[in-house]
Chain A
């Protein structure tokens, strides 16, 4: 009977402590206003990137594309690569700027954490985590929006070469073979995640050294 009472008391005590101490919140707040702006901006950039990449793939797969002059193909390839690179650089720059803002915004928290014995790695991990979350979320939303746009625009895109060569074959063909290859839409969130993590890591590491 005593044992039963003891077990019951222990479980009640555990229940009481669980009620008193719920799941703890993030030490470095992730829901600051600038994080929402970052999310919107990176989503738009990922959307642009997904449209550029997928439209490029659609055109590449089109047999009429090879009929274009070599120099035109080269120019379009270079321009596409340049645009994609530019978007990646812009994302990296935004994240670098965002990391600086995050440190400024959370400087009291970071100062306190360092005073009470937080290691540099602990702070770096927390800051990177918030940007990794933004990267993956923005990448997912951007590629989803891009996918929906391409789905709507596909019939027009497939006819673009015909329009360039002024061939009056304007029959709308809805060939969904491009969507067999969904990797592009999975790659964008991963790319965005990777860029966000790398940019924020190097920025926070540089800042925290001088703290």
Chain B
């Protein structure tokens, strides 16, 4: 079996939204399997854009992005979902579907993979108890607190055992206590071998884990390994 050390590789990537607005100017990064990374930068610097590029939700204007050695540019648009199934997303605004219960929201990635409910029912319930949400399994997202919603969002990202989890400001809408709980969940997932990338400008969060920081400054990136 071939072992990939590099999970995602960005090679000389350029990205621009319009002629007047360049976001990235010749950036290269190597994301290793099982790593923990932070992405920082000022508002509008391109943290979310970088996550979108990594997740293949956006195509770079120029350059290559490789996922497990495979060039994303070579993959047809209709087949991109196969890559996306290997990526878990956590958003600042949670993005839980309001008409589905917590259980249904968490089970969503498995439902879209047409998996049999009998096979995953137990896993979903166990995962919900792992994130301390067993008591609100039938509750709709609108009846959950910010911290609970974010934990449900994390459970949804983890349920399909993705290779990488991309979190965009995951603690942006939660208090300090919940922020620490969420970070602990990410650490636990990382210990199990999942690569974690968190985009944040929360200095406290950055100080809690000694992980490499990918800093976006003036359309370029600077990697601080903090060793």
Contact = CB atoms under 8 A, between A and B. Distances in A.
Contact of A20 (B86, B103, B111, B112): B103
A108 interface: yes
B227 interface: no
Interface residues of B, number: 35
B112 A24 contact: no
A112 interface: yes
A27 B107 CA distance: 11
Interface in A106-122: 108-109, 112-120, 122
Nearest to B157: A116
A115 B55 CA distance: 8
B121 A27 contact: no
Given A20-B137, A29-B99, A116 B108 contact: yes
B104 interface: yes
B84 A115 contact: yes
B85 A27 contact: no
Interface SS of chain A: helix, strand, loop or mixed? helix
B222 interface: no
B89 A24 contact: no
Interface in B106-157: 107-109, 111-114, 117, 121-122, 124-125, 137-138, 156
B121 A17 contact: yes
A112 B97 contact: yes
A13 to B, nearest CB: 8
Contacts of B138: 20, 22
B81 A17 contact: no
B100 interface: yes
B97 A118 contact: no
Contacts of A17: 121-122, 125
B112 A25 contact: no
A39 to B, nearest CB: 19
Size range of the interface on A?
Answer: 20 to 34
Contacts of B95: 108, 112
Contact of A118 (B81, B87, B121): B81
A117 B84 CA distance: 5
A21 interface: yes
A27 B108 contact: yes
A29 B107 CA distance: 16
B134 to A, nearest CB: 8
Nearest to B100: A25
A114 B108 CA distance: 12
Interface in A28-44: 29
A17 B99 CA distance: 21
Contact of B104 (A25, A112, A118): A25
Interface string B43-56: 00000000000010
Interface in A10-27: 17-18, 20-22, 24-25, 27
Most buried by A among B89, B103, B112: B112
B73 interface: no
Interface of A: 17-18, 20-22, 24-25, 27, 29, 108-109, 112-120, 122, 209
30 contacts: A17-B122, A20-B137, A21-B103, A21-B107, A21-B124, A21-B125, A21-B137, A24-B103, A24-B104, A25-B99, A25-B100, A27-B97, A27-B100, A27-B111, A112-B95, A114-B81, A114-B84, A115-B55, A115-B57, A116-B84, A116-B85, A116-B88, A116-B156, A117-B82, A117-B84, A117-B85, A117-B86, A117-B160, A118-B112, A119-B112
Given A21-B103, A116-B84, A122-B112, 4 more contacts: A17-B121, A24-B103, A24-B111, A116-B85
